[in-house]
Structure formats: structure tokens, C-alpha cells
């Protein structure tokens, strides 16, 4: 924060903290943050509010739910042990991955000392997220059989595009060609009771689902059938790559926000997840991390391509234009983007 400025506007505060203004409003709604008001009625964040907001952001980055953050800042220890346990598991996983990379570097340095020049592929393999080919196939209709490659897959991968752009067909093809992948379709909502019965028959699965639901509810989610079904599929397929059709289906906005927060928190320990979405609550570019990627399906059925979640990147504006808040999504349900018909010369 600039020393010459006593208070910041919401946009300035968000930029300073590295979060979105939507996150600031969420913290305020949950009673965690209390901005003052300017003479004209606008929210204003002074040094105390910025300091508290920074603490909240830090705790969220550690994987704490909003309810856990609320308890911590209030000096209450309830729920702190499992949160710290989850953080330890996450750091141990990251440490193991880092240790493997360090060992590779040591091996390459030993080879250099013996006069052997490392291969380019060995050096490229030192990157944290190599742009490796995960799956490749010929695109089905409505495309023309072009070859598609899924490269640069991250922990969370969004499939985005206007209605009618072929997202679901692409998702099904990905599920067929990704190693060990499962496709979770929209019929999951209709089959809720069947899915719940399967969970009840598996005590270990039930415990994981209950723990996950408890975290989500603490973070503001509503425990509706759509959420329970989604969590069961996520926990049952925790060892598989999952491709989920319209992950936001049946979820209200706070629940969507809690779900994506939970997925980001746990992404490090799971196989890559692919999600179709048109919701800005699921894919908020301002909240996206480097461990997320977008596959964009253009309306004109040009081959899908990867879009970096960075303003100005090729395809970024088109991708953002396909995202809407849950209320907008409800109003546009079933509307299909159409390309203007061109007259023959």
C-alpha cells in the first residue's frame, strides 16, 4: 500500500491484496471485514481493514474455510487441528514433488561433472508443469475430424464455450482418451438416490463425503441434493481423472464459490479434474491460480484450443464472454449461440 494514501477503494484494496473485489465483498458479507464508508458512501479500506484482509487472505491460502477463518481471528481453536492436518498433508505432498525435482537436478549436475551433456528433454522435464501430451484424438462432429491434443493439463481444467459449441462432445472424447478418466454427466442429478445408496453401502466413502460436505457448508454452501451427488462423485473418483459436465448444475452461487474454493484447496493431491462451466462463480479469472487451464470451444466450431487465464492472451476475451453469474446463467438456459448465415457469392 502506498504510504501517502490512508484509505484504498475496493479495486485498489483488491489489487494490493492480490484478490478480486468479489472476494472482499464475500469477506464483508461473512462479517470478517468491516470497511468504512467515504463521505460519498463508497466502501473504503484503511490500514486496519487492509491488515485484517491480508490475514484472511493468508488463512484462505492455507486452505482454511471461511468458518475456520472466522474462528481463528476470533481466537477460537475449534476446527483448527484438522485444518492444520490438511495443510501438513498438502505441504508434504509438495515437498515430495520438490524433492523429486531436486534429485533430478543433482543427477544432471553429476552427469555434467563427468562430462556428459544432459539431453534437452531431461532439462525440460525439470519444469513444475511440463507441457506434455496427455491425450490426442480426432475431433468428432461438429468438427471436421481435426487432430486435437490435450497439453499443459493442470490440476483444474475448465472447458468453456458458448452453447452449441461442442463442449460436451469434447468432454466425452477427453474422458475416453485420458488414462483412467470417468465422465460425470448431467444425469447425475436424476440419479441422486441411486448414488446416495451406493455411498451408504461404503462406510469409508461415506466418511469422506461427510467430511467434505462439512467443510463446504462451513464455507457457505447449501447441502442440496445436487451438491451431495457432486461430492459423492468427486470422492468416489478421487483416484481418477474426472470430466464433469456443467459442474455448477443445481448449485446456488455461494455453493459454487465454496466448491471451487475446495477444489483449489485439494487440487494438489488429486489427478487432474476437467469441468465444463459457464459460470463466473466457478471460473473467476481474477481468482484463478497458475495451476488452472482453460480449453475453449469457439462458436464457429474451429478446433478447441488452450487459453491462458491472463488478460490479453489469445482467446481470453472470447472465453470471458461465455461466463456469467448464476442468475444470468438461469436467464440464458437453453439459448444457443448462432453464427450469421453467409450468402453464397
Mean pLDDT of 70-84: 80
Angle, helix 253-266 to helix 225-236, in steps of 10 degrees: 10
Tens digit of pLDDT for each residue in 78-122?
777 877 877 787 788 778 878 888 888 888 888 889 988 888 767
Q: Report helix, strand or coil for 208.
A: helix
Q: Which of the residue ranges 73-82, 148-157, 295-304 would you say has the lowest mean pLDDT?
A: 73-82
Q: Which residue has the higher pLDDT, 176 or 98?
A: 176
- Has residue 300 got a pLDDT over 60? yes
Least confident window among 42-46, 86-90, 148-152, 303-307: 86-90
pLDDT above 50: residue 338: no
Report the distance separating Cα 226 and Cα 219, nearest Å.
17
Model confidence at 344: pLDDT above 60: no
Residue 325 has pLDDT above 80, yes or no: yes
Whole-angstrom distance, CA of residue 143 vs CA of residue 295: 15
Residues 5 and 11: their CA atoms lie apart, in Å, by 14
The residue-averaged pLDDT of 267-296 equals: 88
Query: Is pLDDT of 2 > 70?
Result: no
Per-residue pLDDT at 47 exceeds 70: yes
Q: What is the mean pLDDT of residues 266-280?
A: 86
Residues 168 and 160 sit within 8 Å (Cβ to Cβ): no
The pLDDT value recorded for residue 125 is 66
Dihedral of CA atoms 28, 34, 35, 36 in degrees, nearest 10, equals 140
pLDDT value at 63 more than 80? no
Angle at 176 between CA 90 and CA 129, to 5 degrees: 35
Residue pLDDT, tens place only, 130-145: 556 578 999 999 999 9
Mean of pLDDT values over 209-237: 92
Quick one: pLDDT at residue 167?
A: 96
What DSSP string describes 209-276?
Answer: HHHHHHHHHHTT----HHHHHHHHHHHHTTTS-EEESSTTTT--HHHHHHHHHHHHHHGGGS--EEEE
Pairwise CA distance, residues 228 & 213, whole Å: 7
Alpha-carbon span 259 to 223, nearest angstrom: 11
Cell reading at 54: 491480508
Confidence category of residue 336, pLDDT binned at 50, 70, 90: very low
Model confidence over 142-156: pLDDT tens digits? 999 999 998 888 889
Arithmetic mean of pLDDT, 177-206 = 93
Q: Are 156 and 309 in contact (CB under 8 A)?
A: no
- Cis preceding-peptide flag for 142 (omega within 30 of 0): yes
**At residue 124, does pLDDT exceed 70?**
no
| Model confidence at 310: pLDDT above 50 | yes
Identify the top-confidence range among 58-62, 133-137, 223-227, 283-287. Answer: 223-227
Q: In order of start, what are the domains of the chain with their CATH numbers?
A: 10-61 (1.10.1660.10), 80-124 (no CATH), 133-331 (3.40.50.300)
Residue with cell 466425452: 172
Spatial contact of 232 and 205, defined as CB atoms under 8 Å apart: yes
- Average pLDDT across the chain, whole number: 86
Among 297, 276, 279, 295, smallest CA distance to 165 is for 297
Secondary structure of 86-130 in the HEC alphabet? HHHHHHHHHHHHHHHHHHHHHHHHHHHHCCCCCCHHHHHCCCCCC
C-alpha cell at 247: 459442474
Using the predicted structure, report yes or no on whether residue 3 has a pLDDT greater than 50.
Answer: no
pTM exceeds cut of 0.85 = no
Phi/psi for 101 (5° steps) reads -65, -40
Q: How many CB atoms lie within 10 A of CB 108?
A: 18
Q: How confident is the model at residue 68 (pLDDT cuts 50, 70, 90)?
A: confident
Amino acid at each position: 500500500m502506498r504510504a501517502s494514501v490512508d484509505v484504498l477503494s475496493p479495486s485498489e484494496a483488491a489489487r494490493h491484496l492480490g484478490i478480486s473485489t468479489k472476494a472482499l465483498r464475500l469477506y464483508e458479507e461473512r462479517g470478517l471485514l468491516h470497511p468504512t464508508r467515504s463521505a460519498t458512501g463508497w466502501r473504503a479500506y484503511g490500514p486496519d481493514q487492509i491488515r485484517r484482509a491480508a490475514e484472511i487472505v493468508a488463512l484462505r491460502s492455507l486452505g482454511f474455510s471461511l468458518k475456520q477463518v472466522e474462528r481463528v481471528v476470533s481466537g477460537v481453536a475449534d476446527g483448527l487441528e484438522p485444518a492444520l492436518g490438511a495443510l501438513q498433508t498438502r505441504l508434504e505432498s509438495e515437498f515430495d514433488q520438490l524433492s523429486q525435482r531436486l534429485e533430478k537436478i543433482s543427477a544432471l549436475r553429476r552427469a555434467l561433472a563427468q562430462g556428459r551433456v544432459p539431453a534437452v528433454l531431461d532439462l525440460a522435464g525439470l519444469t513444475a508443469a511440463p507441457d506434455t501430451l496427455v491425450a490426442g484424438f480426432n475431433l468428432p462432429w461438429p468438427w471436421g475430424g481435426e487432430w486435437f491434443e490435450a497439453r499443459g493439463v493442470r490440476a483444474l481444467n475448465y472447458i468453456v464455450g458458448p452453447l452449441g459449441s461442442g463442449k460436451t462432445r469434447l468432454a466425452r472424447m477427453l474422458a475416453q482418451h485420458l488414462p483412467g478418466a470417468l465422465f460425470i454427466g448431467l444425469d447425475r442429478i436424476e440419479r441422486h438416490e441411486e448414488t446416495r445408496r451406493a455411498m451408504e453401502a461404503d462406510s469409508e466413502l461415506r466418511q469422506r463425503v461427510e467430511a467434505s460436505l462439512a467443510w463446504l457448508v462451513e464455507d457457505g454452501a447449501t447441502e442440496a441434493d445436487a451438491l451431495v451427488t457432486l461430492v459423492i462423485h468427486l470422492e468416489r473418483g478421487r483416484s481418477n481423472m474426472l470430466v464433469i459436465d456443467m459442474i455448477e448444475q443445481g448449485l446456488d452461487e455461494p455453493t459454487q464459490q465454496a466448491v471451487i474454493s475446495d477444489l483449489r484447496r485439494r487440487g494438489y493431491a488429486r489427478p487432474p479434474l476437467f469441468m465444463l462451466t459457464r459460470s463466473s462463480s466457478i471460473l473467476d479469472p481474477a481468482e484463478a491460480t497458475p495451476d488452472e487451464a482453460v480449453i475453449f470451444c469457439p462458436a464457429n466450431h474451429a478446433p478447441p484450443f488452450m487459453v491462458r487465464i491472463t488478460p490479453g492472451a489469445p482467446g481470453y476475451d472470447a472465453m470471458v464472454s461465455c461466463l456469467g453469474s448464476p442468475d444470468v446463467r438461469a436467464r440464458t438456459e437453453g439459448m444457443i449461440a448462432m453464427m450469421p448465415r453467409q450468402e453464397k457469392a
